[in-house]
Structure 1
Amino acid sequence: MIDHFLIATIYTALIVMLLSASTLFAFHKSGDRSRIILGVIISFSVVNYIPRLIKAMDGIFQGPVLSVPMLSLALFMILSYTIYPIEVISPGWTNRKRLLMLYTPVILILSFYGLTLLFGVEYKEYSSIIEMLPHFHDFNVAFRLFICFILCLPIFLIFYIPYTRKFNNTDRTWMIVYVISGIIDVMTYLLILSYHTKIISIIYFHFTMAITALRLYMELIYRIVDKNVTNEEIMLASRDEKNEILHNIIKDENENYHKESNLFIRLEKYMIDNQAWRNPNLSLGMLTEEMGTNRTSLTNEIHKYGIDSITTYINNYRISDFIFLLNKYNEMSIKEAFYICGYRSRTTAIRNFRTITGKTPTEYFGRNIMNLE
C-alpha cells in the first residue's frame, strides 16, 4: 500500500513541478528574468524526479549515499534557488562575475574533495546523517557534516543584496516569506538525509510541492499585486532633474530633431517620465512593447538621428544620469551612481562612460572619484 502511495506522490510532485515550470515560461515578461530563472531551476527538479519515479515503479527504494559530490549537487541547487529572489529584489545584480562568485563554494568543495582523494583519504559510504554522527571525529565524516551545515546559509544572501532601488520588484515581507520557505525546504531535505524511510520520503515530496506552489504564487500574484515600496528610501529624480538629464543628452544635437517624429517623441517621453534607463533589464523588446511598434521600425527611427543602436541610446541616458548624480551628490560613490543609473557591471559602465565622453570618470570630473567605492 505504501509503495503505491509513494509512486503516486512522486508522480504528483513531478506533474506539479512540470506545470509550475511551464506556467513560468508561458507568462514571463520581456526584460524580466526572474520567471525564466525560477522556471529553469524547477525544471532541474523535474529531471531529477524522473529517475526516482522509474525506480519506484520498479520497486526499487534506495537510500541516499552521502557522498561529497551528492552534497555538492544539493548545495548547487540551493544556491540556484537563491538566484531567483536575488533577481526579484535587485534585477540585473547577478551578472556573470557575481554568478561565478555565488557558485564558488561548490567549486571550492569539489576541488578540495579532489585533493583529498589524491592524498589517499577514503570516504566510507553512509546512508544517513544519523549513521555518520558517531564517527564525526573522522575527517571524511566531519567534512561531509560541514557541507550539511552550510546548506542553510545561502538563503540568507538575499538580505545582502541592495534593496532600496526604484526597480526592485517586491517588498520586505516577500523577502522574509521566501527566506522562511527556503529554510523549511532545506530542513526537510536534511530530514530525509537523516531518516530516509518511505514515510519521510512521502512527507518530503509533499513539502516540496507545497513550497513550489508557494513560490509560484509569490511570483505570479503576490509581488505584482501587493508591491509596497512607499516606505523605502528610493532615489527618484524630480521633474527639473529629469529635464536637466534630457538637456544633457540632446544639447549637442539638432534642437528640432524630435519634432520630426511622433514615434521618437513618444519614446523620449516614455524614457524621461519613467526613468526607464534605470531599469537594468531595459531592452529593445521592452521599448517596442511600450511604443506599440516593432523592432525594425524603432531601430530605423533612432538611426535617423545618428544613433547606431538601442544600446547606445540607453547608454546615453545612463551616462548623462551618472554625470548628473555625481555633480549633485558629492558624497555619492561611483559604484552607487552607476548602480542607480541601471548598470550592474562596473567595468561595462566605465567602458561606456569612456566611449561616450572620451574620458574616464576621474578625468571628466577633475577629481579622483575611483576610490569612492
Structure 2
Amino acid sequence: MALMQFVLGSASCAFALCAFILWMRRCDGDRSRLTLSFVWMFLALLFSSRAFVDGQLVPSGVLPPVNLVGGLLMVTLLCLYPIEVIRPGWLNARRLFMLLLPAILIGAIFYLSGIKLRQLQTFGDMLAHIGELNVYWRLILLFGIILPSALLLHVIPYNWMKSRVRLRWIRHYTYTILLISALYAVFMLTRSASVSVVHLFVCLTLAMIVTYEELFARFCIPSDCPTELPVEPVKSSSPSEEEENPLVIRLNHLLEEEKVWKNPDLTVASLAQMLGTNRSYLAQAIQEAGYVNFADLINRHRVQAFCCIAEDGKVKRVLDAFFLVGFRSKETALRSFKKYTGSLPSEYLMKVAANRSKTSEL
C-alpha cells in the first residue's frame, strides 16, 4: 500500500505540474490551455485525495456509488479539452452544464434520495445479487453511461477549416478515453491495485503527451482569426508532355482549382477516392506530376501558398497563415517551410518586406 500511495502522490504532482505550466502559458482568446489546465488540476486533486486525504487507495467494495459518479465526472471532464480544440468556442456555459448534468443528477439521486444501496464487498457478492435493482442500476451507470460517454467527441460539429486538430487525432483521443474508461470499469469490478496502477499510468501518459502537443505542436489560434485568406493557385512542376495523362490532369485540377491540400484531413486514400483510382496509380501520377510522394505534394503546395500570402503582404501572424493553408502542427509546418525555402518564416517575411520596400522606392 505504501508503493500505491507513492504512485498516486507522484502522479498527482505530475498532473499539478502540467496544469500549472498550461496555466502560465495560456493564450489570449484561446481557451484550450485553460480548459486543459482545469482538467489536469481536477485529476491532481482527485488522485491526491485518494493518497493522502481519505486513505482509500482502493475502494472498500465493488461498484461504490461515489466512485461511479466520480468516474462519470472524470470521463466528462476529459472530453472538455478535445471539444474546445475540435470546435473552438462551441463549448459555452449552457452546453457545459448539459455535459455535466448527468453526473450532477446521478449524484443527487444517490445522495439526496435516501435510497439504501447494498454494500458489495467482492465481485462474487455482486454476482449473487445481480438481479436486485440497486446492483442493476450501478451496472447500467458503469456500462451504459460511463463507457459510452467516451464517444462524446463524435457528436461535436466538426469543421476542418476551424478545427485545430485532424480527424485522426479525434479518433486516437477517443480510443484513449475508451481505454481509460474500460480500465476504470475493471477496477470498479475487481478492486485490483494493479489495474489501478495501469489506469493511472494511461491517464498520466495522456496528460504528458497532450500537454507537450498543446505547448509545442498545436497552433494557438485566436478566436478572431479570419476563416479564409486569399491563396493563389500553385502551378504544378510537371512537364507538359506528362500532363497528357488524364489522371495527372485531374490531380492538378484538384490541387490548383479546388485546393484540396488545404484540408488537414486529406489522405492518400481520400485523394485516390476523389480521383476514382487506387493508391498505386495515384502514387505514379504524383511522381509524373513532379513530386516525390504524397507528403511532398501536400506540403509543397502549403508552403508555396504561404509564400503567396506573404508576398501579398497579408500575413499578420505566421501561425494563422500556416493554419489556414492546412497545417495543424507547428513542427511539421516549420520543418516543411525550412525544407522548401531554406529559411525560417520570420527570415522569409523580412526578405519579402525588404523587397517590397525596394520596389516601392523605385
Q: Aligning the two structures, in what range does the TM-score lie when normalised by the shorter sequence?
A: 0.5 to 0.7
Alpha-carbon distance change, 90 to 55 in structure 1, aligned in 2, over 3 angstroms: closer
Decide whether the 8 Å contact of 1:90 with 1:165 is kept in 2.
no
Decide whether the 8 Å contact of 1:17 with 1:43 is kept in 2.
yes
The partner residue of 1:42 within 29, 40, 49 is 40
Q: Which amino acid aligns with 1:45?
A: L
Question: Tell me, which stretches of 5 or more residues in structure 1 are unaligned?
Answer: 234-267, 276-373
Deviation for aligned residue 1:201:
3.0
Decide whether the 8 Å contact of 2:58 with 2:193 is kept in 1.
no
Question: Tell me, which stretches of 5 or more residues in structure 2 are unaligned?
Answer: 221-260, 267-313, 322-362
The partner residue of 1:161 within 151, 156, 159 is 156
The partner residue of 1:171 within 162, 166, 169 is 166
Deviation for aligned residue 1:33:
0.5
Alpha-carbon distance change, 162 to 198 in structure 1, aligned in 2, over 3 angstroms: closer
Decide whether the 8 Å contact of 2:142 with 2:185 is kept in 1.
yes
Alpha-carbon distance change, 29 to 127 in structure 1, aligned in 2, over 3 angstroms: farther
1:124 corresponds in structure 2 to 118
Equivalences, count = 231
The partner residue of 1:144 within 134, 138, 142 is 138
Decide whether the 8 Å contact of 2:150 with 2:177 is kept in 1.
yes
Residue 212 in 1 paired to residue 210 in 2? no
Deviation for aligned residue 1:224:
3.6
2:67 corresponds in structure 1 to 70
Q: Secondary structure at the match of 2:165?
A: coil
Q: Which amino acid aligns with 2:130?
A: F
Residue 17 in 1 paired to residue 50 in 2? no
1:202 corresponds in structure 2 to 197
Q: Secondary structure at the match of 2:142?
A: helix
Deviation for aligned residue 1:181:
1.0
Q: Deviations over 1:40-96 (max 9, x none)?
A: 11101111222322269x8x7552443434312221221111111111100111111
Decide whether the 8 Å contact of 1:35 with 1:219 is kept in 2.
yes
2:263 corresponds in structure 1 to 230
Deviation for aligned residue 1:218:
3.6
1:94 corresponds in structure 2 to 91
Decide whether the 8 Å contact of 1:174 with 1:218 is kept in 2.
no
Decide whether the 8 Å contact of 2:167 with 2:265 is kept in 1.
no
Residues of 1 paired with 2:182 and 2:15: CA distance? 20
Decide whether the 8 Å contact of 1:64 with 1:193 is kept in 2.
no
Residues of 1 paired with 2:16 and 2:129: CA distance? 40
Alpha-carbon distance change, 93 to 53 in structure 1, aligned in 2, over 3 angstroms: same
Which stretch has the larger CA shift, 108-117 or 142-151?
108-117
Q: Which amino acid aligns with 2:151?
A: F
Deviation for aligned residue 1:210:
1.7
Decide whether the 8 Å contact of 1:25 with 1:39 is kept in 2.
yes
Alpha-carbon distance change, 232 to 23 in structure 1, aligned in 2, over 3 angstroms: same
Residue 191 in 1 paired to residue 191 in 2? no
The partner residue of 2:128 within 131, 134, 151 is 134
Residues of 2 paired with 1:174 and 1:136: CA distance? 39
Decide whether the 8 Å contact of 1:90 with 1:161 is kept in 2.
yes
Deviation for aligned residue 1:5:
2.6
Equivalences for residues 330-349 of structure 1 within 5 A: none
Q: Give identity over the alignment, percent.
A: 24
Q: Secondary structure at the match of 2:218?
A: helix
Deviation for aligned residue 1:116:
5.3
Residues of 2 paired with 1:69 and 1:190: CA distance? 14
Alpha-carbon distance change, 100 to 130 in structure 1, aligned in 2, over 3 angstroms: farther
Residues of 2 paired with 1:169 and 1:146: CA distance? 35
Q: Which amino acid aligns with 1:106?
A: A
Deviation for aligned residue 1:178:
0.6
Which stretch has the larger CA shift, 65-74 or 136-145?
65-74
Q: Deviations over 1:276-333 (max 9, x none)?
A: xxxxxxxxxxxxxxxxxxxxxxxxxxxxxxxxxxxxxxxxxxxxxxxxxxxxxxxxxx
Residues of 1 paired with 2:207 and 2:182: CA distance? 15
Residues of 2 paired with 1:219 and 1:155: CA distance? 21
Q: Deviations over 1:322-361 (max 9, x none)?
A: xxxxxxxxxxxxxxxxxxxxxxxxxxxxxxxxxxxxxxxx
Residues of 1 paired with 2:213 and 2:172: CA distance? 9
Residues of 1 paired with 2:17 and 2:188: CA distance? 27
2:101 corresponds in structure 1 to 104
